[in-house]
Amino acid sequence: MITDLRVHWLPLYISDQLIEEVLSPFGKVLDITIDKTLLDKDTMTFNGTRNVKLQTTEFDSRHIPHIVSLCQCGMLITMKGRPSICLKCRQSGHLRKDCPEKSSTYASVTTTRKSPPQPSIATPPVPAPQVSSPPDSEINTSPVSQEPLVDPSTTAVTTPDMPTEEVKILTSGDKKNSNQPNHCRSQH
């Protein structure tokens, strides 16, 4: 049986070989193509969705997960005829917009709220709190220094601790210098 899958949410640098490894427990991968979107009559772009043809048994196709973690990316797998899942609670039978676990949003609370009831009688004004001044003995009356707080001949910039690890762009001739694990690298 041939099962057509659509793999969503993966960056383009994830190799087809890695996707094949992830899907191999569910059948033999026959073909992987990258979906393209036509922007206008002369421009086409890759949208990141992969189309996968998988040879499976009926048993195997029922056990293909909806979401898989791959190289620190979530990978959503959809297929024709399989019920969608809610991306909030991960249960089938409804979508995220209809999820019973969905908490109220600010918009839903403000649009359904009635205006607060107006008091039928005027409320008496609340007296202002009394502020007391400190005694003169606690007030600092020493002159302010006119010396600069920083030596103007030096410039120092401090920043919070940041990771010093460099991020390198992977090119086809520079695979050994990548910070990505071997199995997450693009195969050119």
More confident residue, 122 or 64: 64
In a domain, 142, yes or no: no
CB 55 within 8 A of CB 27: yes
Reply yes or no on whether the pLDDT at 157 is more than 50: no
With CA atoms as reference, report the closest residue to 49 among 87, 3, 98, 11: 11
Say what the pLDDT of residue 155 is.
39
In a domain, 127, yes or no: no
In a domain, 151, yes or no: no
In a domain, 35, yes or no: yes
Reply yes or no on whether the pLDDT at 41 is more than 90: no
Which structural domain range is residue 42 located in? 2-103
Distance from C-alpha of 30 to C-alpha of 133, rounded to nearest angstrom: 83
In a domain, 153, yes or no: no
Q: Tell the residue number behind the tokens 């992969």, with chain if given.
A: 50
Reply yes or no on whether the pLDDT at 23 is more than 90: yes
More confident residue, 130 or 24: 24
In a domain, 169, yes or no: no
Say what the pLDDT of residue 133 is.
60
Mean local confidence (pLDDT), 137-160: 50
Q: Is 81 left (phi over 0), alpha (psi -120 to 50) or beta?
A: left
Reply yes or no on whether the pLDDT at 40 is more than 60: yes
Mean local confidence (pLDDT), 155-181: 38
Say what the pLDDT of residue 33 is.
95
Distance from C-alpha of 156 to C-alpha of 178, rounded to nearest angstrom: 32
CB 1 within 8 A of CB 57: yes
In a domain, 83, yes or no: yes
Give how far Cα 68 sits from Cα of 71, 94, 110, Å. Answer: 10, 20, 36
Burial string for 91-122 (b: 16+ CB within 10 Å, else e) reads: eeebeeeeeeeeeeeeeeeeeeeeeeeeeeee
In a domain, 182, yes or no: no
Structural domains counted in the chain:
1
Say what the pLDDT of residue 18 is.
94
pLDDT in tens, 70-108: 888 889 999 988 888 898 888 888 888 888 887 666 666
Q: What is the CATH number of the domain that holds 41?
A: 3.30.70.330
> Which of 54-58, 150-154, 157-161 has the least mean pLDDT?
157-161
pLDDT over 90 percentage in the chain: 26
